[in-house]
Amino acid sequence: MKRLMGVFFVLILLPSLVSAQSLKIEALRPQFEFAGAEPTFWTSAWFVTVAVPIHKRLHFVGQLPFAFGKLKDATVPTEGEAIGNPGLGLRFDHERLTIDLGARIPVVQKRLITNNGFGSFIGALADIDRQEAFVPDILPIFAMIRTKINASKISIHPYGGASLTVKLQNERNDFFARIFRLREDDGELYVLYGADGWLELKPVYLGATFSGRTWVSSGGTFSDSSIHQISVRAKLVFEKVTPGLLFRFPLDDILLDNVFGLNFEINL
């Protein structure tokens, strides 16, 4: 825990050292039952994202995920912490269009995982759409396009993209295979899609999100290869800071019950 908190505070100071444009901190707490137990209050996954301007509307985006926690009165060892696969990419930001291209550095390795990889498991479960941030021995490459449609005080933000994961080791990931729909091929393709909707009552914004993730290369049916979720959101938008919260729940029958999240964005 001390190691993770040290990393967290270094990341908080990083924007002042690299002339960053924005800093976003996300904390996600998953609720589920595993091994006859539920997670403690502080069990959570964190994503710290920094955007640095390169040229006009082009930005470098870096993200570091980490997770920690344990289960109360579990029948198997379930306590751990983990630093995930850092994300590096480029973002083109126009008035109504945002394009992200990037990859994650594969620092999570099965041979280095302790306590059955529980920390990585928490991270992957807390944000299924970004589970590659915590899955070991893969090289994830991703692309995402977002648009914006305004109608008076209502705005809709459709998005779509893909994630290609290249397997780096031949060993089987038994721990994750039991929980997620991961196959032991050399590469897998996932399609991500959805939309955010916001009601603008400045400075209060109320919103909802529908998100989907389909495992295209699985060879299975759409219903068997897809996970869909609904999120209810709220945020306060000020000139320099934007605090927010969310409550997310899956529409499909998976291990996860729901996720409660807090986020805080600083525009520098």
- Give the span between the Cα atoms of 84 and 104, in whole angstroms: 9
Sorted by where each starts, the structural domains of the chain and their CATH numbers stand as 2-267 (2.40.128.130)
In this prediction, residue 121 carries a pLDDT of 86
Instruction: Decide which of 177 and 38 is more confident.
Output: 38
Confirm if 228 and 252 have CB atoms less than 8 A apart.
Answer: yes
In this prediction, residue 11 carries a pLDDT of 54
Tens of pLDDT, residue by residue over 195-217, are: 999 999 989 999 999 999 998 88
Q: State the residue for tokens 């021995």.
A: 137
Residue 49 pLDDT more than 90?
Answer: yes
Pairing of strands 204-215, 226-236: antiparallel
Tens of pLDDT, residue by residue over 151-203, are: 889 999 999 999 999 888 766 655 555 555 555 556 789 999 999 999 999 89
In this prediction, residue 17 carries a pLDDT of 46
Q: Does this model's pTM top 0.75? A: yes
pLDDT band at 220 (very low <50, low <70, confident <90, very high): confident
Burial class (CB in 10 A: 0-12, 13-18, 19+), 222: exposed
Confirm if 91 and 98 have CB atoms less than 8 A apart.
Answer: yes
pLDDT band at 235 (very low <50, low <70, confident <90, very high): very high
In this prediction, residue 185 carries a pLDDT of 58
